[in-house]
Structure formats: C-alpha cells, structure tokens
Chains A and B, each alone.
Chain A
Amino acid sequence: MTLLSIQNLKVHFHTEDGAVRAVNDVDLVIEEGETLGLIGETGCGKTVLGLSILRLLSENTKVEGKILYKGKDLLKLNEGEMRKIRGKEIAMIFQNPLTSMNPVLTIGTQISEPFELHQGLKKKDAIQKVIAILKLVRIPSPSERINEYPHEFSGGMRQRAMIAMGLACEPSLILADEPTKGLDVTIQAQVVDLMKELTTNSKTSMLLITHDLGVAAELCDNIAVMYPGEIVEYADIKELFKNPKHPYTQGFLGSLPGRGLKPMNGMSPSLIDLPEGCKFHPRCPFARERCKNKRPEMVEIGKKHFVRCFLYD
C-alpha cells in the first residue's frame, strides 16, 4: 500500500545570492514498510526535499506540487493539522545531533516531549517510556543518562538518542537525514545495524537521505538517485548496483573505493545556477547536442527501473 506519494514537487526559495531551485518536478513513492534511499552529493537538494515533507522550510519558500500522505495532501493542511503529523505520523532524524539537540535541556526532557505531546502522557509516565526506548537503542544505564545533557553524550550515543527521539511515537514514516554522517566507521556500523533492526521488524517506512552508498546498500529496498534538484534514476537496490544506467549513477558508483576509485569529471552545478537541458550534460561523456537544450523525461527501461537520460530513449 502506498504510504507517501510525492508528485511534481517543486521547492524554490530566494537567498541573497539568487533564486535557489532546490527541487524540480520530483515524483517519488514510498510503500508501507519500504525503505527508500535518496542518494546524492552534498548540496543536491535532498535535505530540502526531506524538510519539505514535514513543511519545516521557512515561510518564504515556494513549495508546489503534491505530497500525499495516506491520501491526504500535506501541503494543504493547516498548521494545527500539520503539527499532529509531525513527530507522530512522520518523524525526522536529523544529521549532526550535537546541534540538532537542545543544549540546555536534558536528554530525558527532549525525548519525553513526543510522548507527552502525542500520547498525552504525564511527565512521570513519559520518562518511563524514554528509559525503555533508550534501552531499545542500547544506551547503557538509561535511567541515569536521561538526566544528562547532549554534550555529555558521545557522538554515537547522541545519534542513537536522536534515533530514539524519532522512533518515540512509532511513526509510520521516518525521514532519516544522513544519520551516520560524522561518525567513526565502527560507530557508523553500530548505528546502521540498529536502524536495520528497527526497520525490518516493523511496518515503519523510511526515507533514508544519504550520500553514502554503503549505508544505503545495508538499509534500503529501493534507491532514488538525485542530481541537483531532480531524480535521475530509480531502481531497486540490487538492480541499481548491478546495472546502473544513468551516466551519473555509473560515475558515482565508479568513484567508490571498491569499484575502481575513478573520479568523475567536473563538479555538481549549484542549485542557483543550473544548466539548461539535462543537468548532467556538462560532465557527461555521452553528451550530445540535444542534451544541452532539452530536458530528458523519466523512462522505464526495466521492471521498476527508471532513468532520465536520452541514451535510453
């Protein structure tokens, strides 16, 4: 059953340096229980896409299209209805937990908030739940740790506490934004294991936003590859690794340590100054004349395998 369906999503906003076209005509579907990986380099708009689902972008941001969650368009809800979605139905796990957690509130207070808010629990009962969930994410001696502040936790523990905060109300959908960024490799593996355990055992769906294909391979069922502002390829995880079609995906995979470490030509364009036509054409070894002027459409080239490239027209 379809849980979330994003249709024709456009997210634009203004900064001092110019208009940022962060998300352009994106379509995505997440099924119940599915984990979808959104892969792309830093600055390709994937975090903005995540934030736009929860409507956490600033008010001057223009968001167009549809974000259907269980059939309701989130973009049409009012603030009060949206607040009931946030944290309860859809929760977000942010990157960099040191800045994403409030420095002057204890861990216990911060994690108990969703319980108090969405389940109407008293502080005392909520704390019991906090202890239980901290146990679940394997924080040692949680009944003492709840009185500590974020800076007293190690990086890995902070990330696990952040995950606990997201899982608190057993949401149907978790948006995880680079949950392993900035962690040591061993800690990273622990966090990935934890997330794998938590998502495979439940009906919870997850949108995993990451630039790390290794993490995505561990956790995801399907992958959407994002190249500044748009999805360029979509496939299930095995198919994508075995049979990448888009030149960008090929280059991206080829630059991985296990696959030859070949760097790609050039740099990703900035969201302020996107090229005409196919966004990848300035770096593409197969670029032809029409790639410069016309934007390719998404085409299905295999079972559930879509690619946005004229090579497969």
Chain B
Amino acid sequence: MIKFIARRLMIAVVVMLGVSLISFSLVFFAPGNPAEVIIRAEIGEEPTLEEIEFFFQEHGLKAPFFTQCAQWLYMITHGDLGTSFRTEEPVLVEFIDRFPATLELAVAAMFIAILISIPLGILAAMKQNSVLDHGSRFVALWGVSMPNFWLGLLLILFFSVRLDLFPCFGYGGIEYLILPAITLGTGMTASLMRLMRASMLEVLRQDYIRTARAKGLMERVVIWKHGFKNALIPVVTVMGMQVGHLLAGAVIVETIFAWPGVGKFLVDGIYARDYPVIQGFILIIALFFVLSNLAVDILYTYLDPRIRYDVKKGMK
C-alpha cells in the first residue's frame, strides 16, 4: 500500500516538475512587458527607460533563461513563490488569504452536485427508457452545455435584479453563496448524473445482481447494497477529476460574482500581467489537481477490494 502511494507520489513529483517548467517558460517567453504595466499603475504615467531598467534589475528579470529558471526552481522548492508585482505581498500569502473563499464555493457546488446527481442518476437507471430517464438525459446534456458564465448572468438577472432575492455579487453570508454555488455546480451535477446512470446500468446487468435477486432480496437492497458501491467506483474517479473543473469554473464564476477567491485574483493577475501571481497560482492549482487525483487513487483502493488485493500482491 505504502509502495503504491509512493509510486503515485513519484509520478506526481515528475508532473509537478514539468508544470513548474511550463509555468516558468510561459512567462519567460511572454511577449508583453510587465514593467510598463506595473509602473504605470504605480506612478500613473508612462515609465521612462531608466525606470523600466530599474524594475528589471530589481526583479532579476535580466538573467539568462537557465539562471532564472534554476533560481525560480530553488525558490519554489523552498516555499517561496515570489512577490506579487501589484500588491508587493508574497504570492503564497495572497493565495492562502483567498483560498478559503474558493474552497467554500467549491464545496457548496460539489454538495449541490452530489445531492442531486446521485439519486437522480440511480433513479434514471432503475427506470431505464422511461420518461424520467429520457428527461434526465436531456436535462443532463443541457446542464453540461450551459455556459456557466451565461447561467451566472441569468441567475443574477432573474433572482437578484428582477426578484431581488439574493445580492448580485460580493461575499458574505449564505445569501451570497447560493447563486455562485448553483452556477458552479450545474455542470458537475449534469455530468455526474449521466455517469451515475451509466454506471448503475452497467452494474445492474452484472451476474452478481442476478445472484442477489435469486436470494429473494428486495429490489431496494439489491440496488443499494449490491449495486451502489460497485456503481460508485467510476463516479468517484470522475468526481476527483471534477475538482479541477471546479477550480476552472471557479475562475469564471468568481469573476462574475466578484467572489474574492483565488480564481478572481488569478484573472486580475492576468489582466495586470502580474507574472509571479500567474506562475505561483497555476503551480498551486496544478498541485491541487495532482493531489486530488492522488486522493482518488487511494479512495479507489478502499472502494474496490480487487485493487487493494492487487496492490498487496504487487508488494510481495
């Protein structure tokens, strides 16, 4: 088991190294000039050549590629992601400040998604080819096709502007959370529902389900005790991958609802060409993504004893 996790961790480390190289190169070879943008923002007028020169010196942007890259790698492996050009605060601090808001949003969205998709998916599978099943296919396809930025705007238009039920944007109590969480959760709800249905259908045609029925078990027990855990295995995998999609969606949803999370800060960073923020944030997002996949792998072995067995055998 430990060996299995260790191997996964090794892969994760290699991937993260690649990620850091990419995020560094992206910025290094970027055509734009951050100095102009930043200094203009600071002093409110076109910077002189000397000022730009000074900015480059100060931020060590004149060294050759490999020197800078090595420096950067040294920095990030020691927990230093640099300092934001705009706020002059360490990038890591900026991230940690904003992460709870994003986490709150993501957890709420995931909660909505799981709560709706799993029961509906199972129901659709049990009543295959019924009106409910066809309806769920349609709704699910509609849900994954709905642009979340548009959905967000529609929700604001309808529930905030017209009905005045929720605030348009901002951060605060639960009334601020509801619209963004729905916006973020819709796509995930739809895709999990489809997957749950397909997975349950696949499980229901397995031999062991027939065995369970032959014992005289109630259909409810057959579905929940014999089917559910088996059907959940692929769903959990995808749920783990969806964490990344949630983060991606959060970038857009946070921008629309002015939600003070990491996504909005990243977008603002991109507008302002705040390179340390861009580099640092994509690094952390990728790390998060890789770790959540790792967590799924471990959860998977818990859910599926066959894999646990293979892992044990592999160690011998």
Contacts and interface: CB of A to CB of B under 8 A. Distances in A.
Contact of A100 (B210, B218, B304): B210
A122 interface: no
Interface in B266-316: 303-306, 309
A240 B169 CA distance: 85
Interface centre among B206, B213, B216, B304 (most CB of A within 10 A): B216
A91 interface: yes
A106 B304 CA distance: 12
A152 B215 CA distance: 22
A209 to B, nearest CB: 14
Given A99-B206, A99-B207, A105-B226, A83 B217 contact: yes
A102 B229 CA distance: 10
A86 interface: yes
Contacts of B158: none
Interface stretch (A110-118, A199-207, A258-266, A270-278): A110-118
Contacts of A143: none
Interface string A93-110: 010100111111100000
A92 interface: yes
Nearest to B304: A104
A56 B207 CA distance: 11
Interface in A101-150: 101-105, 113-114, 117-118, 149
Given A105-B226, A149-B305, A99 B208 contact: yes
Chain B residues touching A, range:
20 to 34
A160 interface: no
A86 B213 contact: yes
B214 interface: yes
A56 B215 contact: no
Interface centre among A91, A103, A114 (most CB of B within 10 A): A103
B303 A149 contact: no
Interface centre among B208, B210, B217 (most CB of A within 10 A): B208
Nearest to A91: B214
B113 to A, nearest CB: 24
B211 interface: yes
Nearest to B233: A104
B208 A102 contact: yes
A151 B215 contact: no
Contacts of A118: 216
Contacts of B217: 83, 87, 113, 117
A88 interface: yes
Contacts of B218: 83
B214 A92 contact: yes
A102 B215 contact: no
A126 B304 CA distance: 25
A54 B214 contact: yes
A14 interface: no
Given A103-B304, A104-B304, A151-B309, A113 B215 contact: yes
Contacts of B207: 94, 96, 99-100
Nearest to A104: B229
Contacts of A152: 309
B212 interface: yes
A85 interface: yes
What secondary structure prevails in chain B residues at the interface with A? Answer: helix
Contact of B216 (A88, A94, A101, A105): A88
B215 A114 contact: yes
Interface in B20-38: none
Contacts of A51: 210
A196 interface: no
A70 interface: no
A86 B210 CA distance: 11
Contact of B211 (A84, A85, A94): A94
B208 A87 contact: no
A99 B306 CA distance: 13
B216 A103 contact: no
Given A102-B230, A103-B306, A105-B226, A86 B208 contact: no
Contacts of A104: 229-230, 303-305
Given A102-B226, A103-B305, A149-B309, A94 B212 contact: no
A101 B230 contact: no
A200 B128 CA distance: 44
A165 B309 CA distance: 23
Contacts of A83: 216-218
A83 B211 CA distance: 13
A229 B306 CA distance: 38
Contacts of A96: 207
Given A100-B210, A103-B230, A87 B215 contact: yes
Contact of A149 (B212, B215, B230, B306): B306
A180 to B, nearest CB: 17
A81 B206 CA distance: 24
Contacts of B219: 79
Given A99-B207, A100-B208, A101-B208, A84 B216 contact: yes
Contacts of B214: 54, 56, 86-87, 91-92, 94
Interface in A29-57: 51, 54, 56
Given A100-B210, A152-B309, 10 more contacts: A91-B215, A92-B214, A94-B210, A99-B207, A99-B208, A103-B208, A103-B304, A149-B305, A151-B306, A151-B309
Q: What 9 A-B pairs come out closest when comparing CB atoms?
A: A86-B216, A87-B216, A87-B215, A99-B207, A102-B208, A100-B207, A149-B305, A83-B216, A92-B214
20 contacts: A51-B210, A54-B214, A56-B210, A83-B218, A86-B215, A87-B217, A92-B214, A94-B210, A94-B211, A99-B206, A101-B211, A102-B208, A103-B230, A104-B229, A113-B215, A113-B217, A117-B215, A151-B305, A151-B306, A165-B215
